Structures are given as structure tokens and as C-alpha cells.
A and B are shown apart, each in its own frame.
Chain A
Amino acid sequence: MATNKEILQAVTEPLRVTVAGHTNTGKTSLLRTLTRDARFGEVSGRPGTTRHVEAARLLVSGKVLLELYDTPGIEEPIDLLALLTEQAGKSGNEDGRTRIRRFLDSDPAKDRYEQEAKVLRQLMKSDAAFYVLDARDPVLAKHRDELEILRLCGVPLLPLLNFVADPAAREAEWRDALAGLGLHAIVRFDTVTPTQDGERLLYGKLANLLDAHSDTLNALIASHAEDARQRHHSALSLIADLLIGVAALQQRVSSLDAKVLDKASATLNDRVREREQTCVERLLSLYRFYPDDLETAALPLVEGRWQQDLFDPYTLQTMGLKVGGGAAAGAAAGVGIDLMVGGMTLGMATAVGALLGGGLQTLRHYGSSLMGLISGEKILRIDDNILRALAARQCQLLKALETRGHAAQHKIIAADAAETVFAGQRLPSALRQAQANPDWASARPSFDFEDRRQQAVDELVQELADSQSNHSDNQ
């Protein structure tokens, strides 16, 4: 970190990078993804949506390291190159920048080629440029002419193959053409579904092109990597907090009468749904997606809500889970009924563990359960498999969020079955402890010397992280 700080102090001027390219290749989308701001500019399938130059800054610790300029697409490169050639006329061996400057001062730059002039003017003021291209397009004369014009500005160009994951992408064709134009440093970057290390590769390649600024870019890479790591951890904390809270939820019923049970379990289920929704919203906001952006989103969500109800048997079935039997399972789907004294059905070991760990609080809880037993009260809890389903769904959402660019607008077919979490094994001890501690349902400041709820959450975060890394190992 110390070296990073020194680098930050050494940066006096931000690095200026122009994003150029043919019309409708995803320049604004690239900016959205790089700034993690789904509200930057305007994106549509229409060519020429962006007709102005708009800037965005990337900061690390409040210091601007990179300025990105979104530019209009170049639309008439063939005629423009012809004009530039014509303007050069008899002047002989001029360098490119002189020719561009002459063009920018001439009348066509204010009239027919005003849009192109904006790009070139910005490019002349920049340290480098990303040349965004749609890898699904064939390589055409207009693209070659466009690159020819951009090269005249004398600024390092880094071609960026967008939509390269598409089966129709012509990556080899483009690489060949770009090599022919002397552009060998090329980066694959899907603005809509960037790979996890896509950004690192992008800035890394740029650092190679701009040796003098490589420290700045490396500082940016390091800072973003750290942010991503922390964000992932924060997301797991949110999920763990949800699970602990839901596991601790209880509803007391006076009898196992079907009507009473139905009502109580409906109340309980509603509380779970509400919590799940809150967690979804927090996850979205952590990854800077807005619920109202999600109407057309690539998530198994509609308007920021899960399409399938958690308690729908089908939902569980797709995850290979069944809501367990028990005396009144039919009446109270998704609810485990604690017929014994509170928590004792969790198994003797848990109960003892909870007693040892939970101290007075748990003891008090057992006391009140005993009272319940005498008065004939029963305790409803959330079924273990519902907890598993909840965990799986949130982890699935997290995965989707992590691989989703901020430019994504279209739907991605969500994999029907989420990866299972904690399946085929006992619930982690943190969750079992939560089931025995009804006051863990929410995190309120307390006077307890140790925040054992928080400890359980931390423990569960670790479990979730382990289970995820196991999954990726298996793949």
C-alpha cells in the first residue's frame, strides 16, 4: 500500500484516454462498465446515440487517475480520409498531426464532419485512445480508413474487441487486419459481460503502450482489484447476515391446528420474503445496479424481485431440495416445527454448543421455551432446506452481479438451477446456533460484551467463501 500511496502522490495530471470507434460499437457501454455507473450517457441499439463528447473520471482515494472521454461514432471515414488527402494536396511530407490540425481549422470540420471533428479534437488532447470495435462486424474499407485517420493524430491506439464472446465474432479476421495496420496490442473486452479479469487486462495492455504512465495504471489496477475483493466479502457478509437472521426467526403457535399453523407459517414466510428482498436490494446497491434498471435486466429478477417465490415447491425442486416432512409439513410449507422444547430438535450437540457459546441469553431462551412447553406452545422455525435455497439463490445473484457489466441491457437466460450451497450436509454450526438464538433475528446494538451474532455471521461468511471456492474447483 505504501508504494501505491507514493504513486498516487506522484500523479500530477490524470491520464486522458479517448474512447473512439465506429458508430454503434459500444463506446458508451465501455464507459459505463469502466466507471461502474449504469447511468452514464445514453445507450441504445441506434447508431449515433452519442453525438457529444462526455467525460468521466476514475479516482483512487479521491485522486483522479484517469479521465475517459466518450466520443460520437465516426460515420463517414471514407469521405473524410479522401478530404484529408485532398487537403494535404501538394504539401508533401507533412506529419499527421499537422494534417489533422488543418482539417480541424477548415470549414468541413464545422459542417459536414462536425461529429468526426469532435472525436479528432479530443484525440489530439489525449494520451491514448481505445478503439472500440464490434467484433461481429466484417472488416471493411471504412474501418481501415477510420484507423488510418485516427493514427494521424499520433496517439497510441489500443483496439478493443467488443462482443468477442458472441459466436458470430470474427476475432481472427480483425486481428489479422489490425496487425496489417501495425496494431499488435489488442485487448478482448466484452462491455456487457466482462470477464472477471477483463479490466485488469485492459489497463495492463494500456500500461504497456504508455510506459510513462504504467505506475498510474498499475495503481488503478491494484485499487480496483482490492475493491472487488472487498466488495465480494461485503456481499457474502450481507448473505450471511440474511441467513443468520432468517435462521433465528421464530413464530410461536398455541396448537398444531391446521388453521393456526397456516396463519403462523404465512406470517413467518412473509418475514422471510421481506428479508430476502432487502438483501437483494442491498446486493444490487453494493454492485451499483438500480432496481428500476433491472426491468430489462440480465438477472432472474423482475423489477428487482425474484420471479419465483422462495416457498414455491418448484423453486426448491429446481435446486434439488425438498421441504422436509414432519408432523404438519403439508400445512406449513417451508416451516420446521419444533415440537420439542425450543432448539432441542436441533440436536443435543447444538443445544449444548449453543449453551456454551451463548451463555445467559440462550439460557433465558431455554427457560422461556420451557414455559412454552408447559403452556402447550409450539415453535415454528424456517425449514433447513429453505435456508439452503435462500443461500443458493443469493449466491447465484452475487455471481450474476459480479459478471455483469454496467452496460448490460438485455436479458440473459438465467440458469434454472442455482448451484447448491450447504446441500447434502448439515447446516453450518453458525446457522444452527442462530436457530437456537431467536434474538439474533436482527442485529440491534446490545450491551453484550461479545457480539456473538456478528461472530456467527463472520463464521458463515467463511463457510460461504469456502463453498464457493469448492464449486469453482470442481468446475
Chain B
Amino acid sequence: MSEFNKRWLAEAVRRDRADSDSRDEAAERHARGLAGDAEQRILAWAAFIAAREGLDQRLQRWRQGALWALLALLVLGLLSGFTAALAVLGDSQVPVNVIWVLGSLLGINLLLLLIWLLSFSVNAQGGSLGRLWYVITVAIQKRIQHNSSAAAITQAFNALTAQAGLSRWWLSVVSHLSWLCIMLGVFAGLMLALALRSYVFVWETTILPTSVFVGLVESLGALPGLLGFATPPADAIVSSGSPTPAMLAEQNDVARRAWASWLSGCVLVYGILPRLLLSVWCWLRLGLGLRRIRLQTQTLAWVALATRLVPDSEKAGVTDPAPAAAPIFKRRARQGRPGEARLLVGLEIASDLPWPPAGLADGVQTHLVDSRQQREYVLEQLNLDPPRKLLLACSAAQSPDRGSLHWLAEAASQTPSVAVWLMGAERADSERLAIWRQSLLDMGIAQPAIYDANEQALAWLGETS
């Protein structure tokens, strides 16, 4: 399958499935198993689905139908050109008006060629015979082949070629090829008639001077002349212009051959050659363009599938499993008689909290603890002289961590009468507050000994009982 056909198939598969939102797990697995970028994997995905659902064969049938339609169009062109030439030349009973014949044989062709050329400047696509072929192809799909996916296949072809700006070129290829066949038919008809019949060539005018015709015939004959086609000499042209029965009978074979040669040359050079060259040129443009067509995997049409086939992030799993349950630090309340001190110790208190807090009872000592030295110093002091009351203040806005809880448990172990004050609780979020409370309860601090209101905490410290 050619590169373009693969993409055409993929596009058709997507459009065929447009209504179903469900994913095709099997196809996706298949595609993910292959190497390649997003587009390659999408193509594999499409090929997988198409093979399973017979879409590839339907696409093949579509192409065959299209080919038959094209052949029919071309054969029709050959035949119509052929009969047109015979009809225009007529039987040899009457002299042939050579200019009139040439105009009839080439006129429409050249007019439509001009329109095709103009279509470039007005941003139309041109190629009306191409559209005819399209209509026939679609009709074959609908009425003869009963192709259930024909609409998807057709639209996929249209969309892909339109996206790459190739619609014009395939329309043009069909159009030029058809005209080429028509002109070949014309040429064949012309040859046959000239070979088997004896024509007398004349030209007529009512108002134009003879020199116009001499100039016209000679200039038209210049190009075919390069290919070896004869042009009637000037005097023969002049003599063909005033046909009297005597002259007609007298028109010598040389002049007639020259006219026949001139006529065939003109049909070949102005009818066949341009269409032939344009067919080849458009064919090349189309071929090159089709080879360059890529699925736009980043657009809405494909992005969901593309990110599933080629994820931009993936989980690589746990590389180092979690340790056993985290330790809980328990307070081991110290027995024995404490001293007389009342102590307020703030752990990791942020600078925006008031320290020392206002409203402290007389005789209360305060400590701030943050660094290792401070932690060790305060623990040592507590150990040496256990206070009568110890209020441990924490910043409720911060997250409790093992280090803080460990130190708090150590400090709380130094004396029987301990309470914890969650400073700034009114500004902390409720989830964090709940975590603090739970951790403190786990540590062995009783629920009533956890304060979040400043007054209550300080009042507890001030109580003498």
C-alpha cells in the first residue's frame, strides 16, 4: 500500500468510527507494541482495525470503482472526440471550411483551458470534468457497490487532499486526461477522414480582407511547422479563399495535402500537446503532494488517540517501597516532684507571631526553640530543673513533622504538667489543625491540654493550682 493510501485508510477508519466514542483497546495495544512515532502508530492502529472490519477492501473497491469511472470517462472522451471530428469534417461532397473546422475542433477545448488557467487567479479549483468523475465515482459507490463506508472513504480522500491543497491537482489531472482523450479521438477521426476521403479545403469571408487569413494560417502553422507539418503557401491560401467551382475542381493535391497537414498539425499542437503536457505536470504535482501528505496527529481529530499511542508522560512505578509504619513518639511523663518554674517554650515560631505573647503571668520564663543548639539547651534545662508547668507553643500554620513531634515528645516527657498551645490557630486551615491535634493525642497529650485560644493557654500557665 502506498504511503498516501495508508493515510487515506487511517483517515477513513477515523471518520467511519466518528460516532463511536469507545476506544479500540486491541488495536491500541497492537499499535503501542510497534516502534515509531505517533503517525506510524496511528497507521498501524488503522491498518489493524481496517483489516478486521474489511475497510481496507472497501477502500480497494472504492479505488477500483474510481478507476473504472475514469476509464469510462476517457473512453467516452475518445469516442466523442472521434465522432465529433467525423461530424465536423462531414462527407467530402461539400468543400470543408478549414478555419471553421479548426475552430469547432479546438474552440471549446481552448476556451475551457483558458478558464482552467483563470481559475488560479480567482481561487477556484477548476477541473469541471474532474468533478464529473467525482460524481460518477460517488454514484458507483452508492448505487452499484453499496459500499457502507463509502462516505467515510470519500470524505477522507477529500479532506486529506484538500488539507494538502491537492484538490485542484487531482481535479486537473482528470480534467486534462479527459480532454487529452477527446483530442486524441479528434485526431484519430481527423486522420481517418483525411485518409479515406477526398476533401477540398476552402475558407470564406464576408468582410475580412484576404491578408488576415494568410497571416492567420501562416502564424498558426509556424509551431506545427517546427514538427514538420506543412503550411499551405501563400498563393494556395489566397486561391482557397475565393472558391469557384472551377478552382475547387482544380485544387491540386499538393495544396490539399498541405491543408490536411496544417489542420492535423494544429490539432496536435494546440489540442493534444497542451493537454498532454498539463496532464503530466499536474500528475507530477499530485504525486509529489500525495507523497508529502502526513496525518496531523496534533489536531483535534487525532490528538486523543495520538497521546494514548505515544504518551508524553508515563508512570514508571515505585522504585523504592515505603518503609514500615512511621514511628509514633510517645511522651513518657516523668515522675517525681517538679520545681517551681513556669515555662513557655515556643518551637519554630514564625516571626509574624507575637513573641513573647502579651498577657503573660508574672514569673513566666520564655524560650524560643529552632536550631539544634537551642533544642539541646532547652531539653537540658528542662531535665535539670523540671518546671512546675510547661506550655509548649507550636505554630499551627505549619505542618507537623517527625522532627518537631519528636522534640515535643522529649520536652513533654520532662515534667508531669504539660500543655500544648497551637499558636495562630485562628488563621490556620482546619485540616492542618486537625492533623496537629491528632498527632498530639497520639503522643499522649490529653485533649483538654491542647489549646488554640491564646487566653486559655496563657491562663492555664498562670494558674497556681
Contacts and interface: CB of A to CB of B under 8 A. Distances in A.
Interface of A: 22-24, 34-37, 40, 45-48, 51-62, 67, 69, 72-73, 75-79, 81-82, 112, 114-115, 118, 121-122, 134, 136-138, 140-142, 145, 168, 223-224, 226-227, 230-231, 233-234, 237-238, 285-286, 443-447, 449-451, 454
B312 A77 contact: no
B6 interface: no
Contacts of B406: 76, 79
B321 interface: yes
A78 B303 contact: no
Given A51-B323, A122-B320, A443-B18, A141 B312 contact: no
Nearest to B430: A45
B186 interface: no
Nearest to B395: A138
B370 A140 contact: yes
Contact of B37 (A51, A62, A75, A134): A62
A451 B159 contact: yes
A136 B18 CA distance: 49
A78 B375 contact: yes
A230 B435 contact: no
Contacts of A36: 312-313
Contact of A138 (B138, B350, B375): B350
B144 interface: no
A203 to B, nearest CB: 14
B298 A226 contact: yes
Nearest to A35: B313
Nearest to A62: B310
Nearest to A44: B431
A23 B401 contact: yes
B371 interface: yes
Interface of B: 15-16, 18-19, 36-38, 131, 134, 138, 142, 150-152, 154-155, 158-159, 162, 298-300, 303-304, 310-323, 326-327, 348, 350-352, 370-372, 374-375, 395, 397-404, 406, 429, 431-432, 435
B109 to A, nearest CB: 24
Nearest to A79: B403
Nearest to B296: A230
A233 B313 contact: no
Nearest to A52: B322
B314 A56 contact: yes
Contacts of B36: 62
19 contacts: A22-B399, A45-B432, A46-B435, A47-B400, A53-B319, A59-B312, A73-B401, A75-B402, A76-B402, A77-B403, A78-B371, A78-B372, A79-B406, A115-B323, A136-B397, A138-B350, A142-B370, A445-B16, A450-B158
Contacts of B320: 52-53, 118, 121-122
Contacts of B15: 445
Nearest to B151: A445
Contacts of B298: 226-227, 230, 234
Contacts of A47: 399-401, 435
Given A52-B318, A55-B317, A57-B313, A447 B154 contact: yes
A91 B304 CA distance: 58
B350 A231 contact: no
B316 A67 contact: yes
A48 B402 CA distance: 9
B307 to A, nearest CB: 8
A451 B432 contact: no
Contacts of A58: 312-313
Contact of A446 (B131, B151, B352): B151
Contact of B403 (A37, A57, A78): A78
Contacts of A454: 159
Contacts of A115: 323, 326
Contact of B316 (A22, A55, A449): A55
B399 A24 contact: yes
Contacts of B134: 449
B164 to A, nearest CB: 14
Contact of B151 (A81, A136, A447): A447
Contacts of A122: 319-320
Nearest to B38: A61
Contacts of A51: 322-323, 326
A230 B155 contact: no
Contacts of A444: 18-19, 151
A58 B311 CA distance: 9
B128 to A, nearest CB: 12
A106 B37 CA distance: 47
- With a 10 A CB-CB cut-off, give which of A136, A141, A450 has the most chain B CB atoms: A141
B398 A137 contact: yes
B327 to A, nearest CB: 8
A79 B320 CA distance: 23
